[in-house]
Structure 1
Protein backbone atom coordinates (compact mmCIF):
# COMPACT_ATOMS: atom_id res chain seq x y z
CA UNK A 1 0.00 0.00 0.00
CA UNK A 2 2.86 2.39 0.78
CA UNK A 3 4.77 1.43 -2.35
CA UNK A 4 4.91 4.09 -5.04
CA UNK A 5 3.26 6.54 -2.63
CA UNK A 6 4.58 9.55 -4.53
CA UNK A 7 2.77 8.34 -7.65
CA UNK A 8 -0.41 7.72 -5.69
CA UNK A 9 -0.47 11.26 -4.30
CA UNK A 10 -0.32 13.13 -7.60
CA UNK A 11 -3.91 14.30 -7.42
CA UNK A 12 -5.30 14.07 -3.91
CA UNK A 13 -8.98 14.99 -3.65
CA UNK A 14 -10.23 16.08 -0.20
CA UNK A 15 -13.99 16.23 0.35
CA UNK A 16 -16.96 15.79 2.65
CA UNK A 17 -20.65 16.47 2.15
CA UNK A 18 -20.34 20.19 3.16
CA UNK A 19 -17.98 20.74 0.22
CA UNK A 20 -20.50 19.62 -2.42
CA UNK A 21 -23.59 21.08 -4.02
CA UNK A 22 -24.62 17.69 -5.35
CA UNK A 23 -24.47 14.11 -4.08
CA UNK A 24 -20.91 13.43 -2.75
CA UNK A 25 -21.00 9.96 -4.29
CA UNK A 26 -21.63 11.44 -7.74
CA UNK A 27 -18.90 14.03 -7.21
CA UNK A 28 -16.38 11.40 -6.13
CA UNK A 29 -17.26 9.07 -8.99
CA UNK A 30 -16.79 11.85 -11.53
CA UNK A 31 -13.49 12.82 -9.91
CA UNK A 32 -12.30 9.20 -10.06
CA UNK A 33 -13.16 9.03 -13.75
CA UNK A 34 -11.18 12.24 -14.13
CA UNK A 35 -8.08 10.57 -12.68
CA UNK A 36 -7.72 11.39 -8.98
CA UNK A 37 -5.14 9.11 -7.39
CA UNK A 38 -6.09 9.54 -3.70
CA UNK A 39 -9.14 10.64 -1.74
CA UNK A 40 -9.49 12.00 1.79
CA UNK A 41 -12.85 11.79 3.54
CA UNK A 42 -13.05 15.02 5.53
CA UNK A 43 -16.52 15.39 7.01
CA UNK A 44 -16.21 18.76 8.74
CA UNK A 45 -17.82 22.18 8.66
CA UNK A 46 -21.33 23.54 8.77
CA UNK A 47 -23.89 20.81 8.17
CA UNK A 48 -21.35 17.98 8.45
CA UNK A 49 -22.75 14.52 9.07
CA UNK A 50 -22.10 12.79 12.38
CA UNK A 51 -22.54 9.34 13.91
CA UNK A 52 -24.06 6.63 11.73
CA UNK A 53 -24.77 9.07 8.90
CA UNK A 54 -21.06 9.90 8.61
CA UNK A 55 -20.15 6.22 8.82
CA UNK A 56 -22.63 5.33 6.08
CA UNK A 57 -21.39 8.04 3.72
CA UNK A 58 -17.79 7.13 4.47
CA UNK A 59 -18.42 3.46 3.76
CA UNK A 60 -20.05 4.25 0.40
CA UNK A 61 -17.19 6.54 -0.59
CA UNK A 62 -14.75 3.84 0.54
CA UNK A 63 -16.41 1.29 -1.75
CA UNK A 64 -16.01 3.61 -4.72
CA UNK A 65 -12.32 4.15 -4.01
CA UNK A 66 -11.65 0.45 -3.50
CA UNK A 67 -13.39 -0.45 -6.75
CA UNK A 68 -11.12 1.94 -8.66
CA UNK A 69 -7.85 1.43 -6.73
CA UNK A 70 -7.84 4.97 -5.35
CA UNK A 71 -6.23 5.51 -1.93
CA UNK A 72 -8.85 6.17 0.75
CA UNK A 73 -7.67 8.35 3.64
CA UNK A 74 -9.73 9.55 6.62
CA UNK A 75 -9.18 12.97 8.18
CA UNK A 76 -8.27 13.04 11.88
CA UNK A 77 -10.52 10.25 13.19
CA UNK A 78 -8.61 7.03 14.03
CA UNK A 79 -11.74 5.17 15.10
CA UNK A 80 -13.55 6.04 11.88
CA UNK A 81 -10.52 5.14 9.78
CA UNK A 82 -10.34 1.70 11.37
CA UNK A 83 -14.10 1.19 11.08
CA UNK A 84 -14.03 2.04 7.37
CA UNK A 85 -10.86 -0.02 6.80
CA UNK A 86 -9.23 3.05 5.33
CA UNK A 87 -5.82 2.93 3.70
CA UNK A 88 -4.66 5.61 6.09
CA UNK A 89 -5.23 8.70 8.18
CA UNK A 90 -4.34 12.37 7.85
CA UNK A 91 -3.73 14.43 10.98
CA UNK A 92 -3.18 18.11 11.69
CA UNK A 93 -0.90 19.75 14.21
CA UNK A 94 -3.75 20.01 16.73
CA UNK A 95 -4.69 16.31 16.59
CA UNK A 96 -3.41 13.34 18.57
CA UNK A 97 0.32 12.74 18.33
CA UNK A 98 1.65 10.65 15.47
CA UNK A 99 3.42 8.34 17.92
CA UNK A 100 0.11 7.50 19.62
CA UNK A 101 -1.67 7.01 16.32
CA UNK A 102 0.98 4.61 15.04
CA UNK A 103 0.16 2.22 17.88
CA UNK A 104 -3.26 1.65 16.26
CA UNK A 105 -2.27 2.04 12.63
CA UNK A 106 1.04 0.25 12.24
CA UNK A 107 0.51 -0.80 8.62
CA UNK A 108 -1.48 2.22 7.47
CA UNK A 109 -0.44 5.38 5.66
CA UNK A 110 -0.29 8.39 7.98
CA UNK A 111 0.04 11.89 6.62
CA UNK A 112 0.69 15.03 8.65
CA UNK A 113 -0.10 18.68 7.95
CA UNK A 114 2.95 20.93 8.14
CA UNK A 115 3.04 24.72 8.01
CA UNK A 116 6.80 25.25 8.27
CA UNK A 117 10.14 23.43 8.17
CA UNK A 118 10.19 22.72 11.92
CA UNK A 119 6.80 20.97 11.84
CA UNK A 120 7.86 19.01 8.77
CA UNK A 121 11.05 17.81 10.45
CA UNK A 122 9.19 16.68 13.58
CA UNK A 123 6.61 14.82 11.47
CA UNK A 124 9.32 12.99 9.54
CA UNK A 125 11.20 12.15 12.73
CA UNK A 126 8.02 10.66 14.20
CA UNK A 127 7.38 8.50 11.14
CA UNK A 128 5.01 10.40 8.84
CA UNK A 129 4.57 8.74 5.45
CA UNK A 130 3.81 12.01 3.67
CA UNK A 131 3.33 15.72 4.39
CA UNK A 132 0.44 17.98 3.50
CA UNK A 133 2.17 21.37 3.19
CA UNK A 134 0.19 24.56 3.29
CA UNK A 135 -1.78 26.62 3.02
CA UNK A 136 -0.38 27.33 -0.43
CA UNK A 137 -2.99 29.98 -1.17
CA UNK A 138 -6.04 31.56 0.46
CA UNK A 139 -8.77 29.01 1.09
CA UNK A 140 -12.35 29.29 2.30
CA UNK A 141 -12.71 25.54 2.81
CA UNK A 142 -10.97 25.56 6.18
CA UNK A 143 -12.14 28.47 8.32
CA UNK A 144 -9.32 28.01 10.86
CA UNK A 145 -6.60 27.79 8.21
CA UNK A 146 -3.13 29.06 9.09
CA UNK A 147 -1.44 31.98 7.38
CA UNK A 148 -0.76 31.45 3.68
CA UNK A 149 2.77 30.08 3.14
CA UNK A 150 2.97 29.75 -0.64
CA UNK A 151 5.01 27.25 -2.69
CA UNK A 152 8.27 28.67 -1.33
CA UNK A 153 7.58 26.77 1.88
CA UNK A 154 7.82 23.44 0.04
CA UNK A 155 11.08 24.54 -1.52
CA UNK A 156 12.45 25.28 1.95
CA UNK A 157 11.34 21.88 3.26
CA UNK A 158 13.14 20.14 0.38
CA UNK A 159 16.25 22.28 0.92
CA UNK A 160 16.36 20.97 4.48
CA UNK A 161 16.79 17.41 3.25
CA UNK A 162 13.24 16.08 3.57
CA UNK A 163 12.58 13.51 0.86
CA UNK A 164 9.28 11.86 1.82
CA UNK A 165 6.27 12.60 -0.42
CA UNK A 166 4.79 16.09 -0.12
CA UNK A 167 1.46 17.38 -1.39
CA UNK A 168 0.69 21.07 -1.44
CA UNK A 169 -2.75 22.03 -0.12
CA UNK A 170 -4.83 25.15 0.29
CA UNK A 171 -6.59 27.09 -2.44
CA UNK A 172 -4.86 25.26 -5.29
CA UNK A 173 -6.47 25.53 -8.73
CA UNK A 174 -5.54 24.50 -12.26
CA UNK A 175 -3.91 27.93 -12.62
CA UNK A 176 -1.60 27.44 -9.63
CA UNK A 177 -0.96 23.67 -9.59
CA UNK A 178 2.23 23.87 -11.68
CA UNK A 179 3.83 26.38 -9.29
CA UNK A 180 3.20 23.98 -6.41
CA UNK A 181 4.79 20.92 -8.04
CA UNK A 182 7.58 23.07 -9.44
CA UNK A 183 8.51 23.96 -5.84
CA UNK A 184 9.16 20.30 -4.99
CA UNK A 185 5.73 18.82 -4.28
CA UNK A 186 4.94 15.36 -5.62
CA UNK A 187 1.30 16.24 -6.02
CA UNK A 188 -1.50 18.62 -5.12
CA UNK A 189 -4.40 18.23 -2.73
CA UNK A 190 -7.55 20.06 -3.76
CA UNK A 191 -11.06 20.50 -2.41
CA UNK A 192 -13.34 23.04 -4.08
CA UNK A 193 -11.41 23.13 -7.38
CA UNK A 194 -12.96 19.70 -7.99
CA UNK A 195 -15.92 19.42 -5.58
CA UNK A 196 -17.58 22.66 -6.74
CA UNK A 197 -16.64 22.39 -10.40
CA UNK A 198 -19.43 22.17 -12.96
CA UNK A 199 -17.70 18.96 -14.08
CA UNK A 200 -15.54 17.34 -11.38
CA UNK A 201 -14.30 14.93 -14.05
CA UNK A 202 -13.00 17.69 -16.33
CA UNK A 203 -11.54 19.61 -13.39
CA UNK A 204 -9.65 16.53 -12.22
CA UNK A 205 -8.42 15.75 -15.74
CA UNK A 206 -7.09 19.29 -16.17
CA UNK A 207 -5.22 19.40 -12.87
CA UNK A 208 -3.78 15.89 -13.27
CA UNK A 209 -2.52 16.75 -16.75
CA UNK A 210 -0.73 19.80 -15.36
CA UNK A 211 0.96 17.70 -12.65
CA UNK A 212 1.88 14.93 -15.09
CA UNK A 213 3.21 17.38 -17.66
CA UNK A 214 5.55 18.94 -15.12
CA UNK A 215 6.85 15.59 -13.85
CA UNK A 216 7.59 14.39 -17.40
CA UNK A 217 9.50 17.51 -18.44
Structure 2
Protein backbone atom coordinates (compact mmCIF):
# COMPACT_ATOMS: atom_id res chain seq x y z
CA UNK A 1 0.00 0.00 0.00
CA UNK A 2 1.75 3.17 -1.13
CA UNK A 3 1.54 6.37 0.86
CA UNK A 4 0.02 9.26 -1.06
CA UNK A 5 1.77 12.60 -0.81
CA UNK A 6 0.01 15.30 1.20
CA UNK A 7 1.21 18.89 1.64
CA UNK A 8 0.87 18.55 5.44
CA UNK A 9 3.81 16.12 5.34
CA UNK A 10 6.09 19.12 4.74
CA UNK A 11 5.26 20.86 8.03
CA UNK A 12 8.10 19.43 10.13
CA UNK A 13 10.37 17.45 7.84
CA UNK A 14 13.49 15.92 9.43
CA UNK A 15 16.52 15.08 7.26
CA UNK A 16 19.42 13.07 8.68
CA UNK A 17 22.06 10.41 8.23
CA UNK A 18 24.57 8.98 10.67
CA UNK A 19 26.99 11.83 9.84
CA UNK A 20 24.58 14.38 11.35
CA UNK A 21 24.46 12.90 14.86
CA UNK A 22 27.30 14.54 16.73
CA UNK A 23 27.20 12.47 19.92
CA UNK A 24 27.12 8.73 20.65
CA UNK A 25 23.40 8.24 20.09
CA UNK A 26 22.38 5.96 17.21
CA UNK A 27 20.40 7.64 14.43
CA UNK A 28 17.49 5.29 15.17
CA UNK A 29 17.19 6.66 18.71
CA UNK A 30 17.18 10.28 17.49
CA UNK A 31 14.60 9.46 14.80
CA UNK A 32 12.37 7.63 17.30
CA UNK A 33 12.40 10.70 19.56
CA UNK A 34 11.60 12.96 16.60
CA UNK A 35 8.72 10.67 15.57
CA UNK A 36 7.39 10.66 19.14
CA UNK A 37 7.66 14.46 19.13
CA UNK A 38 5.52 14.71 15.99
CA UNK A 39 7.65 15.17 12.87
CA UNK A 40 5.60 14.88 9.67
CA UNK A 41 8.27 13.37 7.35
CA UNK A 42 11.76 11.87 7.50
CA UNK A 43 14.43 11.86 4.79
CA UNK A 44 17.35 9.46 5.07
CA UNK A 45 20.35 11.36 3.71
CA UNK A 46 23.52 9.35 4.22
CA UNK A 47 26.20 11.60 2.69
CA UNK A 48 29.73 12.56 3.60
CA UNK A 49 33.14 11.08 4.40
CA UNK A 50 31.99 9.30 7.58
CA UNK A 51 28.67 8.03 6.25
CA UNK A 52 27.65 4.40 5.83
CA UNK A 53 27.79 2.64 2.45
CA UNK A 54 26.70 -0.65 0.92
CA UNK A 55 24.90 -3.20 3.08
CA UNK A 56 25.28 -1.11 6.26
CA UNK A 57 23.50 1.81 4.61
CA UNK A 58 20.77 -0.49 3.28
CA UNK A 59 20.22 -2.28 6.60
CA UNK A 60 19.98 0.99 8.54
CA UNK A 61 17.62 2.36 5.87
CA UNK A 62 15.38 -0.69 6.24
CA UNK A 63 15.24 -0.26 10.03
CA UNK A 64 14.47 3.46 9.73
CA UNK A 65 11.70 2.71 7.22
CA UNK A 66 10.07 0.30 9.70
CA UNK A 67 10.26 2.96 12.42
CA UNK A 68 8.60 5.55 10.19
CA UNK A 69 5.92 3.05 9.16
CA UNK A 70 5.12 2.42 12.85
CA UNK A 71 4.26 6.12 13.15
CA UNK A 72 2.64 6.31 9.68
CA UNK A 73 5.14 8.99 8.65
CA UNK A 74 6.67 9.00 5.15
CA UNK A 75 10.18 7.59 4.79
CA UNK A 76 11.98 9.48 2.02
CA UNK A 77 15.39 8.58 0.57
CA UNK A 78 17.82 11.23 -0.64
CA UNK A 79 18.96 10.76 -4.22
CA UNK A 80 19.42 6.97 -4.36
CA UNK A 81 16.84 5.21 -6.52
CA UNK A 82 18.29 1.76 -5.78
CA UNK A 83 18.14 2.32 -2.01
CA UNK A 84 14.67 3.85 -2.25
CA UNK A 85 13.35 0.79 -4.11
CA UNK A 86 15.09 -1.71 -1.81
CA UNK A 87 13.79 -0.03 1.36
CA UNK A 88 10.33 0.44 -0.20
CA UNK A 89 10.57 4.14 0.55
CA UNK A 90 7.45 6.29 0.39
CA UNK A 91 9.31 9.05 -1.42
CA UNK A 92 12.61 10.06 -2.98
CA UNK A 93 14.23 13.50 -3.00
CA UNK A 94 16.39 14.65 -5.91
CA UNK A 95 18.75 17.64 -6.13
CA UNK A 96 19.60 19.70 -9.20
CA UNK A 97 23.12 18.24 -9.21
CA UNK A 98 21.85 14.68 -8.83
CA UNK A 99 20.42 12.31 -11.38
CA UNK A 100 17.88 14.05 -13.61
CA UNK A 101 14.47 14.13 -11.95
CA UNK A 102 12.68 12.91 -15.09
CA UNK A 103 14.77 9.73 -15.11
CA UNK A 104 14.03 9.21 -11.39
CA UNK A 105 10.29 9.61 -12.04
CA UNK A 106 10.55 7.04 -14.86
CA UNK A 107 12.33 4.58 -12.57
CA UNK A 108 10.09 4.86 -9.49
CA UNK A 109 6.86 5.18 -11.45
CA UNK A 110 3.88 5.24 -9.14
CA UNK A 111 5.69 3.43 -6.34
CA UNK A 112 6.69 6.61 -4.49
CA UNK A 113 6.39 10.37 -4.60
CA UNK A 114 9.23 12.61 -5.78
CA UNK A 115 10.58 15.86 -4.32
CA UNK A 116 13.00 18.19 -6.12
CA UNK A 117 15.40 20.86 -4.86
CA UNK A 118 14.98 24.21 -6.66
CA UNK A 119 16.81 27.38 -5.65
CA UNK A 120 16.02 29.72 -8.57
CA UNK A 121 12.83 30.81 -10.35
CA UNK A 122 14.16 29.23 -13.58
CA UNK A 123 14.53 25.83 -11.91
CA UNK A 124 10.98 26.12 -10.56
CA UNK A 125 9.60 27.08 -13.99
CA UNK A 126 11.12 23.85 -15.35
CA UNK A 127 9.74 21.80 -12.43
CA UNK A 128 6.26 23.27 -13.02
CA UNK A 129 6.26 21.58 -16.44
CA UNK A 130 7.26 18.11 -15.22
CA UNK A 131 4.49 15.68 -14.33
CA UNK A 132 5.30 13.46 -11.38
CA UNK A 133 6.92 15.90 -8.93
CA UNK A 134 5.03 16.28 -5.64
CA UNK A 135 6.89 19.06 -3.85
CA UNK A 136 9.84 21.46 -4.08
CA UNK A 137 12.61 21.94 -1.50
CA UNK A 138 14.03 25.48 -1.61
CA UNK A 139 16.97 27.13 0.09
CA UNK A 140 19.28 27.56 1.76
CA UNK A 141 17.15 30.27 3.36
CA UNK A 142 19.77 31.07 6.00
CA UNK A 143 23.52 30.25 6.22
CA UNK A 144 23.98 26.56 7.07
CA UNK A 145 26.75 24.41 8.50
CA UNK A 146 25.21 21.01 7.69
CA UNK A 147 26.06 20.80 4.00
CA UNK A 148 29.56 21.28 2.66
CA UNK A 149 28.25 21.89 -0.86
CA UNK A 150 25.44 24.28 0.07
CA UNK A 151 24.31 26.80 -2.54
CA UNK A 152 24.30 30.58 -1.95
CA UNK A 153 21.77 31.76 0.64
CA UNK A 154 18.49 32.94 -0.93
CA UNK A 155 17.02 34.66 2.15
CA UNK A 156 13.39 34.99 3.21
CA UNK A 157 12.53 37.30 0.29
CA UNK A 158 14.12 34.94 -2.22
CA UNK A 159 12.12 32.08 -0.73
CA UNK A 160 8.86 34.05 -1.02
CA UNK A 161 9.59 34.72 -4.71
CA UNK A 162 10.13 31.01 -5.36
CA UNK A 163 6.85 30.11 -3.63
CA UNK A 164 5.05 32.62 -5.85
CA UNK A 165 6.43 31.01 -9.01
CA UNK A 166 5.88 27.39 -7.90
CA UNK A 167 2.72 25.46 -8.76
CA UNK A 168 3.75 22.86 -6.17
CA UNK A 169 4.00 23.12 -2.38
CA UNK A 170 7.42 24.32 -1.20
CA UNK A 171 9.34 23.26 1.91
CA UNK A 172 12.09 25.59 3.17
CA UNK A 173 15.56 24.28 3.95
CA UNK A 174 18.88 25.63 5.16
CA UNK A 175 20.03 27.16 8.41
CA UNK A 176 16.59 27.15 10.04
CA UNK A 177 16.59 27.54 13.85
CA UNK A 178 13.99 27.94 16.58
CA UNK A 179 14.75 31.68 16.49
CA UNK A 180 14.39 32.37 12.76
CA UNK A 181 11.63 29.86 11.86
CA UNK A 182 8.96 32.46 12.72
CA UNK A 183 10.03 34.49 9.66
CA UNK A 184 8.96 31.70 7.30
CA UNK A 185 5.14 31.30 7.35
CA UNK A 186 4.71 34.70 5.64
CA UNK A 187 6.61 33.35 2.59
CA UNK A 188 3.83 30.85 1.88
CA UNK A 189 5.95 27.72 2.37
CA UNK A 190 4.19 24.59 3.61
CA UNK A 191 6.78 23.92 6.30
CA UNK A 192 10.47 23.50 7.02
CA UNK A 193 12.99 20.72 6.48
CA UNK A 194 15.87 20.66 8.93
CA UNK A 195 18.97 18.64 9.75
CA UNK A 196 20.85 20.05 12.74
CA UNK A 197 17.88 21.88 14.27
CA UNK A 198 16.57 18.43 15.31
CA UNK A 199 19.73 16.27 15.13
CA UNK A 200 21.59 18.58 17.53
CA UNK A 201 18.64 19.82 19.59
CA UNK A 202 18.96 19.76 23.38
CA UNK A 203 15.21 19.03 23.53
CA UNK A 204 13.73 17.36 20.45
CA UNK A 205 10.17 17.59 21.80
CA UNK A 206 10.42 21.36 22.21
CA UNK A 207 12.04 21.78 18.78
CA UNK A 208 9.44 19.74 16.88
CA UNK A 209 6.60 21.39 18.80
CA UNK A 210 7.99 24.78 17.69
CA UNK A 211 8.06 23.57 14.06
CA UNK A 212 4.50 22.26 14.19
CA UNK A 213 3.10 25.30 16.00
CA UNK A 214 4.79 27.71 13.57
CA UNK A 215 2.98 25.99 10.70
CA UNK A 216 -0.28 25.00 12.38
CA UNK A 217 -3.31 25.35 10.16
SS at 1:151 equivalent: helix
SS at 1:131 equivalent: strand
Q: Is the 8 A contact 1:181 1:188 kept in 2?
A: no
Q: Say which of 24, 29, 34 aligns to 1:26.
A: 29
Residue of structure 2 in register with 1:109 after alignment: 113
Q: Say which of 185, 194, 199 aligns to 1:181.
A: 185
Per-residue deviation at 1:125? 1.4
Distance 1:184 1:2 in 2: 22
Per-residue deviation at 1:207? 1.8
Q: Deviations over 1:146-201 (max 9, x none)?
A: 000012123212333x2311100001111122212220100100110000112223
Residue of structure 1 in register with 2:152 after alignment: 147
Give the TM-score normalised by structure 1: 0.93
Q: After the TM superposition, which residues 57-206 of structure 1 pair with which residues of structure 2 at under 5 Å, given as runs?
A: 57-107=60-110, 108-127=112-131, 128-160=133-165, 162-206=166-210
Give the TM-score normalised by structure 2: 0.93
Q: Is the 8 A contact 2:11 2:40 kept in 1?
A: yes
Q: Deviations over 1:121-147 (max 9, x none)?
A: 112212321000000111111101000
Per-residue deviation at 1:80? 0.3
Q: Gapped runs of 5+ residues in structure 1?
A: none
- Structure 1 vs Structure 2 CA RMSD: 1.2
Q: How many residues align?
A: 211
Distance 2:55 2:101 in 1: 26
Per-residue deviation at 1:206? 2.0
SS at 2:184 equivalent: helix
Distance 2:44 2:86 in 1: 13
Q: Deviations over 1:10-58 (max 9, x none)?
A: 1100000010122101100100111100000000123100001101111
